[in-house]
Amino acid sequence: MDEWREITRTGDPIGLPPARKPAISALSFDVDHDLVWAGDENGRLFSLYGPELRKYTSFKAHSGPVKQLLSNERGIISVGDTIRMTNRRGMARWTINDDSVQDLQCMTYTGRGASEILVAGMQNDMLVVNIDRGTVIQKEPGPEQTAVMRRGRMICAGSSTGEVSLLDPKTFKVQHRFAAHTGTITDMDTQGNLLLTCGFSARHGQYVLDPIVKVFDLRTMRPLVPIPFPAGPTFIRMHPKLPSAIITAQMGQYHITDVNNVSDLKLRQATTVSFISAVDLSPSGDAFALADADGIVQLWGTSDEPSFSEFASPVDWPDPVVTPPKVEFKDDTPLNMIGMSYYREELLSSWPATMLFEVGNPSPQIDPEVLATMKTVDFVGYAPNPRRKLRNQVEKNPDIEKMRGANNRGPRFRSERDKLGLSAGPDGSVTFEDMEDDVLGPSNVPRYYRKVEIQYSKFGIEDFDFGFYNKTAFAGLETHIPNSYCNALLQMYHFIPHLRRMSLAHMSASCSRHKCMFCELGFLSNMLQDAKGQNCHASNFLRTLKSMKQASALGLLDGEDGIDGKIASRAPTIQSFNRFFLDQINMEGRETDQQPVTGDVQAAVTAKAATSIPADLMGMNITTLMRCTACASESVKPSTNMVFDLIYPKPHTNRREPPVPSFSSVLRASIHREGQTRAWCNNCRQYQLLGTRKLVRNLPPVLSLNAAVLTPDQWQCWASKSWPPPRIGLSLINNRVTCIHGRDLEKKTNDSRVHIYELTSIVTEIRADKNDTHLIALVKIPANDLSPEQTGNESPWYLFNDFLVKNVSEEEALGFPGAWKVPAVLCYQQVNVEEAITLNLPKPDMSILYQDYSIAAARDFRNFTAEILDPSELPGPDFVAAIDAEFVAMQQEETEVRSDGTKSTIRPSVLGLARVSVLRGKGEKEAVPFIDDYIATDEPVIDYLTEFSGIRQGDLDVGLSRHTLLPLKMAYKKLRLLVNLGCKFLGHGLAKDLRIINIIIPKEQIIDTVDLFYLKSRHRKLSLRFLAWYILHEEIQQDTHDSIEDARTALRLHQKYLEYEEAGVLETILHDLYNTGRKHNFRPPVKAEVEHAPPAIEAAFGGD
């Protein structure tokens, strides 16, 4: 081993610039190929081939540092924040990421050729993983704080306390323990009966590397003569064939020594700028690799072309890319210069023009009921005739009609419709509901159940005619936002009156959470109430959902790019979200209820003790009795269930068709779910099989149920006429729930113990496309939300298909005619819910309008431009607030260029609120701002749009901003309170600003100067800058935009408007305004072109 020398090195293994190269945290030679594998601190794995360290593969495996690597004939196993096995091309074979993976550090095979590995770390349990299946098959209590493991005759585990534990490779029990160091063991290796360790020890109150490598005899469990290494040993690798070891220091120095003769050593020095972070010795013993914190991998060996493995298999390389010949292409270059591939026979595409083929219509889809009863013999399927059609009768195929273009046209854009003077649908129909549609049936999905998509014109989403899809008084929710699958459930809970009142009260009260789903539910409900049929979007709510780590861990979020992929079923996701959402808002309501009180302590405590939370409305208090099957000891566990999953009877194995179970029996079994579970018994002091039984303490006024339909047999229950019952009766006797419906309920109507519940809403999954489903809500609108005309003439049931809203009959709402309609979530409410619960709601907290608050760490009070409202200035219906907002781009627009050169918008740009300024519109402090808030964001900003917004990098950063910086929720709450107090909002082009802010203000509270100075006959609205030049003789927005300047300008324009209207010259000025604008292209001319006021204004007021 005298000939060791550096062969090659690579400084850029994954193609990153020098400033971004992550440190390599794990290194390992492949046992079957001439590859060396490395993992860095960012979780990326990459492999290098042969002595040249040629790049082979690179891929992301973990979100945190890679701790250790192992290889076998099927792939590479890595440990980080997960346990993962990947083939050598980068495709994951399996990943383990559950509660058992907490803080793993190391792993080793349990034996030679074993299909199991033992994984341990800074957690209590060691995991035994079957690498064939990728599952944890066993958990064993192991040594504490295991930092490194190696396998020899026994499994050696070194801890962060310096202790070495020897484990039996079969039972994984600790057989021996001894102290090797007083600090963390950094590395160790074993071969035969020897164990070598290196680590830290305490010296003068500090931990330093031991200057020796300790050697232990595993037969006698005694230490042998240590190996001195003054540079401080950090890594050890024993030679697979010789009694030698390679001992490496962090600064690159390494010794090659004979463990039987410590005086026989060879010194080598690896050149490195930083410190060595990982090493490994090849299975052949001919190559040694070192990696450092700069991402550089060095290869040392005894020859110029060492072999990494004894019997290395060849690796698969991608096919070489053949570069086509370069053709110089100009405007006059003929197309045949590009050429075609060589061929000797006539091409298949070379058909004569006279060759025509008649293609028959596609076969209609087979009725799902027929498929459900079909039996197959060999490859032939047969089923009983449902006898729904006459003999030789042909069924209409809706797919053919769609191919012919029938009923497949959508609404025109508003700009097109206004230009053509149209007020109806594209085929003359007044609304979407009046268009011809498919008949509701087992295989026919009507148009209004199908997924609706937003189309974009050059004017953006505001040009889409949402009114075409909704002529009701109830607002729909838009779909262009990530995670908008929640829309249906949000509509469902909006129409639970008591929950709505709770959320509205919670959002107005004092809530200290910067991101609160209960507050966002209140904001959304307030907006849906004010909309009165206008389309809304839940962007603020869904942005809050996206920021929650628990939601991400539960798999409730769409992809990072916000694009909904093809999802086979949305029902499990919405049911998981239902459970998470109710638990979350209950926790947030409880936290607000328990906030510290100030002022009149006794009165505050009394008020808070009585404050209602969602659990009072929807929570069922349950006591679970658990009885150990071994010792018969009992324990009690109280809990509050906000939602129940329905549990269906097991399918029968006999051939007879089983009777459909009643809804009441299924609900009762779901509430009193009994069974056995494996849990810890305090009496036996070990895990035992415990029998569980549930006792119910109360019946909630509102009952939320997850339908949990997973099989065709379960769906068949809902296809029956008795499912779901529109009314059920629940009674609580001896802590057991009794459920009745139908005729049984009619007999018990006068029984005071029976509480009658009414089905008020269903979230349903629509499976019109097998590969992509969506959710709708069918809601029975409360009587207080219906107008007298609706109460008398229409069904109270409405379908909410995102922004499509339609009145439907109760029979249709509760019916499930085909497998394309699958229930997901149901909600029952007590008929006399007002008597069942009395809400004690907190009073609105107005202090946020009168307090100065900022979360900016580097706030500069010289930038403080607002004068906070005084309580004597309490806003009301006579209060005018001039408002303007600035925005930044969170996502760029996605466009598609068609073959004819025109552009089509696939997804519009996403803007986020960055600054909002509100000025007083009247009084002594007229035009003085009382709100000037910058909005903090933790999402990446694509473009600050500084030219148009005045926002610069760092203005929205909590650590860098020098302005008044607030969370979005607090800034939004200020505006929401002003709207609810009846204030009038004045601004220019408020429609777009309010849409991005995600707030709806009633029309009677809006004064928009873009509409005041507008002639409908001219089809053009004028900019604020042009109006300021023409009306106010001022130049604004010279270098950048400022929201205070824009709001103040709009306020002055309104004052001028009132003057012109009072003087009777408004019409004259508007016509001259447009004439002048046409001359200057509706832009203010440069100062050299104009030195006095426009003549029309001077003449109107008697100027010379």
Residues 6+ apart with CB under 8 A from 376: none
Helix residue ranges, H only, 354-496:
368-372, 398-403, 414-420, 487-494
Q: Is 292 annotated as a binding residue?
A: no
Q: Of 257, 336, 273, 310, give the one whose Cα is nearest residue 4.
A: 257
Q: Give the span between the Cα atoms of 830 and 833, in whole angstroms.
A: 5
Q: Across 204-260, where does the E strand assignment appear? A: 206-209, 212-217, 222-223, 227-228, 235-238, 244-248, 253-258
Write the DSSP symbol of residue 204: T
Residue 100 CA to chain centroid, in angstroms? 23
What is the residue-wise DSSP string for 543-588? Answer: HHHHT-HHHHHTT-S--TT------S-SHHHHHHHHHHHHHHHHHH
- 26, exposed or middle or buried, with CB in 10 Å at 0-12, 13-18, 19+? buried
- In terms of Cβ atoms closer than 10 Å to its own Cβ (0-12, 13-18, 19+), residue 157 is buried
Whole-angstrom CA distances from 754 to 430, 640, 724 are: 47, 22, 19
Q: Is 189 annotated as a binding residue?
A: no
Going by C-alpha positions, the residue among 74, 18, 15 that lies closest to residue 46 is: 15
Chain-centre distance for alpha carbon 597: 35
SS3 of residue 322 by DSSP? coil
CA distances from 475 to 183, 434, 851, 1000, 1035 (A): 65, 19, 34, 11, 41
Q: Are strands 116-121 and 702-706 parallel, antiparallel or unpaired?
A: unpaired
- Nearest Cα to Cα of residue 1060 among 1070, 1071, 1048, 1046: 1070
d(CA 1011, CA 414): 17
Does 437 appear as a known binding residue?
no
- Bridge partners of 614, per DSSP, are none
Parallel, antiparallel, or unpaired for β 54-60 and 903-907? Answer: unpaired
**Which tokens in the block code for residue 104?**
């793993």
Q: What is the SS3 assignment for 1050?
A: helix
| 8 A C-beta contact, residue 80 and residue 64 | yes
Q: Is 345 annotated as a binding residue?
A: no
Asked whether 67 and 106 are in contact (CB, 8 A), the reply is: yes
- Give the whole-angstrom CA distance, residue 814 versus residue 440: 13
* All residues at 6 or more sequence positions from 99 whose CB lies less than 8 Å from its CB, including other chains: none
Cα(894)–Cα(294) distance, integer angstroms: 37
Binding residues for a divalent metal cation, by number, are 884, 886, 993, 1046
Binding residues, by number, are 884, 886, 993, 1046
